[in-house]
């Protein structure tokens, strides 16, 4: 069912997402299995889409698909517009003749349970360089014309991104604030000189973006054929070391050298006595307003070209955001600053029409934030894993309290898996022994089962509960469908080294698993 053909929940519905009662799976493409060390947009992605259809699912949610930078995080990217070349399928490049299929047989042996970024990135880059050399040497006039058409279609961001990446490599990978001063400041002569000097490298990056978007279009086509909608993710902030900030320095609070004056984060709360210091530069909302929020219009237009629905991360920051002076060691000494609020979303809606947006409204949420969300009909989120925690939102996360205009999860990419959460102790969280006992006792009482039954299948009890709820959309991380423990956790906020690496092992997508999910969708009419 196409989004435009779906029926609203009732005659008075103000939902921004016109999608019937549905369920889906959260799985980032890097977590797909495959021979080359990282999930790709190739055969394994098509296999997963077919599994979703067999399992009766209607949604595939992914994390941001942009090129990752610091810490390999999809939330710290070199561009909010570009695609991640790591996701390009080498097998599909071989199919079109720009890679030698015989050489791919000798690819290194990579771990099949996690992404070894330190090994995968250089190997993948060598293969992509080889593909680019072949394309520019052997491509037909028609193929060159297709690349030129892509460049023209993406002219608002592609030239700056390709130059940014080529210049970053030419400067040894350091942040753009450490580049040649004239290039850092985007002096016209310096831009022209560096474009000429790095013409070949710039062309490589443009070609990789061409291939990424071509492969993603085939993913979109396969999903449409199988009745699957794709839901993406839009972080509110962009990384400081990105083409977005370098090319739009006036749109951020920066000093004359390009360094942030203020940075983003969240204040101290139940889970962190010092808050979270993200370090992203803060937008100059006053100047963005003068342009009619054109950068945001361009950004969301690009994102909606990739996805039918987007999860808008840290939605509360659009109403008011936590601003911390640059250089502070923690987020404690910040302050709340009024955000663009409804004015931004009116501009976006006027330019783009209906906004199929899910508002990430987790954490300490004020009535003003909820009023903004409801005014535009954006569904909020509920995380069932928090239903019996000390979080003030816990009662609203219990499935019997859900509302229809809601996206319900067992857990999210920042949470432990359901199995990992259930088996964890106080050493793994901020809970005390008493709070841990109460959480587990309340969970068992809620489901009316014994602790032994929860030990066996706590993941499926929670999956059933969110499926049975009135929430219009339900999404379950693939790790919970597979019943995996903490070893499969995607991210632990505030830590480095083990995040974003989990991969699904070959053979995980069984017919038995698909049938179990399909039966849930039948029983609970999803």
Is 484 part of a structural domain of the chain? yes
Sign of CA dihedral 83, 219, 352, 145: positive
Angle between helices 511-523 and 43-54 (to 10 degrees): 40
Query: Looking at the domain assignment, is residue 324 inside a domain?
Result: yes
Residue 20 inside a domain? The answer is: yes
Query: Residue 404 domain-assigned?
Result: yes
Residues 287-303: tens digit of each pLDDT: 999 999 999 999 999 99
Q: Torsions phi, psi of 226, nearest 5? A: -100, 5
pLDDT of residue 269: 77
Asked whether residue 149 is assigned to any structural domain, the reply reads no
Split into its structural domains, the chain has a count of 1
pLDDT digits (tens, 9 = 90+) for 161-196: 999 999 999 999 999 999 999 999 999 999 999 999
| CATH number of the CATH domain containing 242 | 3.20.20.80
pLDDT class of 12 with cuts at 50, 70, 90: very low
| Mean pLDDT calculated for residue range 439-450 | 94
Which is the catalytic residue, given 40, 160, 233, 313? 313
Domain assignment present for residue 160? The answer is no
283 in a domain, yes or no? Answer: yes
The edge-to-edge listing of strands for the beta sheet with 320-325 is 276-281, 262-266, 320-325, 335-338
Please report which confidence band the pLDDT of residue 271 belongs to, taking 50, 70 and 90 as the band edges: low
- Cα angle 243, 247, 249 (rounded to 5 degrees) comes to 115
What value does the mean pLDDT take over residues 92-105? 94
From the list 485, 518, 519, 492, the residue with the least C-alpha distance to 113 is 485
Sequence-ordered strand ranges (E) for 351-453 = 357-359, 380-383, 406-409
Q: List % helix, strand, coil for the chain (3-state, nearest 5).
A: 45, 10, 40
Residue 193 resides in a domain = no
The mean pLDDT of 311-330, rounded to a whole number, is: 97
pLDDT over threshold 90, residue 519: yes
User: Is residue 313 flagged as an active site residue?
Assistant: yes
Q: Which of 414, 428, 435, 442 is catalytic?
A: 414
The percentage of residues in the chain with a pLDDT greater than 90, rounded to a whole number, is 87
- As a whole number of angstroms, the distance between CA 47 and CA 31 comes to 13
| CA-to-CA dists, residue 342 to 316, 338, 346, 376, 402, angstroms | 12, 11, 6, 9, 25
**Is-catalytic flag, 148?**
no
Print the domain residue range for 321: 3-84+229-523
6 pLDDT higher than 70: no
Structure tokens at 255: 């000093």
Residue of 360, 391, 416, 480 marked catalytic: 360
> Is 414 among the catalytic positions?
yes
**CA nearest to 25, candidates 507, 466, 524:** 466
User: Residues 337-388: pLDDT tens digits?
Assistant: 999 999 999 999 999 999 999 999 998 899 999 999 999 999 999 999 999 9
């Amino acid at each position: 069912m196409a989004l435009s053909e779906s029926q609203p929940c009732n005659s008075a519905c103000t939902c921004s997402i016109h999608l019937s009662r549905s369920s889906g799976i959260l799985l980032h493409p890097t977590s797909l299995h495959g021979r080359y060390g990282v999930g790709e947009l190739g055969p394994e992605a098509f296999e997963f889409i077919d599994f979703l259809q067999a399992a009766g699912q209607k949604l595939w949610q992914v994390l941001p698909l942009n090129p990752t930078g610091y810490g390999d995080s999809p939330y710290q990217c070199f561009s909010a517009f570009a695609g991640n070349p790591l996701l390009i399928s080498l097998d599909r490049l071989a199919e079109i003749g720009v890679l030698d299929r015989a050489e791919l047989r000798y690819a290194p042996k990579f771990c099949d349970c996690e992404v070894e970024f330190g090994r995968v990135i250089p190997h993948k880059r060598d293969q992509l360089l080889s593909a680019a050399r072949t394309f520019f040497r052997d491509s037909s006039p028609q193929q060159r014309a297709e690349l030129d058409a892509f460049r023209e279609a993406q002219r608002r961001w592609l030239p700056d991104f390709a130059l940014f990446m080529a210049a970053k490599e030419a400067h040894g990978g350091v942040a753009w604030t450490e580049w040649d001063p004239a290039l850092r400041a985007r002096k016209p002569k310096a831009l022209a000189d560096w474009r000429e000097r790095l013409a070949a490298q710039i062309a490589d990056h443009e070609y990789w973006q061409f291939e990424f978007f071509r492969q993603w279009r085939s993913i979109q086509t396969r999903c449409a054929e199988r009745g699957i909608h794709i839901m993406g993710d839009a972080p509110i902030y962009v990384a400081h070391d990105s083409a977005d900030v370098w090319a739009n320095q006036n749109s951020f609070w920066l000093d004359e050298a390009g360094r942030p004056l203020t940075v983003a984060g969240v204040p101290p709360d139940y889970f962190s006595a010092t808050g979270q210091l993200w370090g992203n530069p803060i937008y100059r909302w006053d100047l963005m307003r003068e342009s009619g929020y054109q950068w945001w219009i361009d950004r969301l237009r690009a994102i909606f070209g990739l996805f039918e629905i987007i999860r808008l991360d840290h939605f509360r920051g659009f109403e008011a955001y936590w601003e911390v002076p640059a250089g502070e060691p923690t987020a404690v000494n910040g302050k709340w600053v009024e955000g663009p609020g409804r004015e931004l979303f009116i501009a976006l809606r006027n330019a783009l029409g209906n906004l199929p947006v899910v508002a990430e409204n987790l954490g300490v949420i004020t009535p003003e934030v909820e009023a903004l969300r409801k005014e535009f009909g954006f569904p909020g989120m509920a995380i069932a894993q928090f239903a019996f925690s000390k979080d003030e939102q816990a009662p609203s996360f219990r499935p019997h309290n859900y509302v229809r205009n809601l996206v319900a999860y067992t857990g999210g990419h920042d949470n432990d898996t359901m199995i990992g959460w259930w088996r964890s102790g106080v050493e793994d969280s901020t809970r005390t022994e008493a709070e841990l006992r109460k959480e587990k006792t309340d969970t068992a009482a809620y489901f009316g089962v014994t602790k032994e039954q929860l030990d066996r299948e706590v993941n499926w009890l929670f999956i059933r509960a969110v499926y049975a709820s009135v929430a219009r959309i339900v999404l379950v991380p693939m790790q919970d469908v597979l019943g995996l423990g903490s070893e499969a956790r995607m991210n632990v906020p505030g830590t480095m080294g083990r995040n974003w690496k989990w991969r699904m092992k070959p053979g995980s997508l069984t017919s038995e698993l698909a049938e179990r999910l399909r039966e849930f969708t039948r029983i609970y009419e999803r």
